[in-house]
Structure 1
Amino acid sequence: MVESTAQQLANYLKTRVGDGLRTVIIVSEDDYEIQYLRRDLKEQYSKRAFDEVVDDVRVESLPLAQLVESHPIGEQRAVVHYYDSAFVVQFPYSDTEQILISVATDAGASLLQFIEGCRQIVDTAA
């Protein structure tokens, strides 16, 4: 069940990144359920802000469900979004559900360094 998986993921991430874990959210076609929300974010973000983020991710991920098994380079396992203060990672769970996590950028330091190194090359060439 998706709730159990989301809780297992939250427990794993708490152990792995500690306070770097921001959120764990189950996203369906027309709803979402917050499984974990770091305490300071409860005060920082309104429900409307969460609605907007989830709606944006839902729109951007329409191909996620459609291409999970049909892409020539293999099954799509996750989508990573990089923002100023967080990495947001989408994991497809079923045809209609996904698990969305966010971690602080310092919790994903290796990924941050890799992306920024690539961005510097692209920005220099552009």
Structure 2
Amino acid sequence: MSVTSAEALTEFLQDRVGDHLRSVIYYDESGGDVLYVRDDVVDEYTDDDIEQVVRDVRLEAVEKPHQESLYEHGPLNATIRCFGEAVEMHFPHDETSGTAVALDGEVFAMHNTFIGQCMAAMAD
């Protein structure tokens, strides 16, 4: 995964979810780059906060081979974390690079996703 593919993902998400896209961060061995951040989100995070997020997803990427060895499911393509206010998606390419995306939490409900349906089923 290159920064070019992360930029393509950013464009896709802007077209698909519009204003519900919160942020996109690409990282590799040289550091992290914020490719997109929504205006109201930019004030919520300091540069240190962003560095911590990059550190967190990088640590997760380091675990990619280990995760793949635990399950007979093929390569680990993405992880998703659903919070009350946001959904975090991480697309690790290898042990040193990947893309982290944040979306508004209601995106799952709006797009009628399977995860959103599962969450709704548990709420009933």
For the 8 Å contact 1:87–1:103, the answer to whether it is kept is yes
8 Å CA contact 1:68, 1:77 repeated in 2: no
Q: Distance in 2 between matches of 1:115 and 1:60?
A: 24
Distance 1:79 1:42, change over 3 A: same
| Residue 104 (structure 1) aligns with | 104
User: Which residue type is aligned with residue 116 of structure 2?
Assistant: L
Letter of the 1:25 counterpart: I
Q: CA deviation at 1:67?
A: 4.3
Question: What is the correspondence of 1:12-23 to structure 2 with a 5 Å cutoff?
Answer: 12-23=12-23
**2:36 is equivalent to residue 36 of structure 1:** yes
Give the 3-state SS of the residue equivalent to 2:77 in structure 1: coil
Tell me the residue number matched to 2:24. 24
Distance in 2 (alpha carbons) for counterparts of 1:88 and 1:31: 19
**Number of equivalenced pairs:** 119
Q: 2:54 matched to which residue of 1?
A: 54
Deviation at 1:44, TM superposition (A): 2.1
What TM-score, normalized to structure 1? 0.78
The structure carrying a bigger helix percent of its residues is 1
Q: CA deviation at 1:69?
A: 5.8
Unaligned 5+ segments in structure 2 are none
Question: For structure 1, which runs of at least 5 residues remain unmatched after alignment?
Answer: 122-126
Over the matched positions of the two proteins, sequence identity in percent amounts to 28
Shift in CA distance, 62/94, structure 1 to aligned 2, threshold 3 Å: closer
TM (normalized to structure 2)? 0.79
Q: Secondary structure at the match of 1:36?
A: strand
What is the aligned partner in structure 1 of residue 10 from structure 2? 10
- Does residue 1:115 correspond to 2:122, yes or no? no
Corresponding letter in the other structure for 2:13: L
Contact 2:61 2:92 in 1 (8 A): no
Local SS of the residue matching 2:18: helix
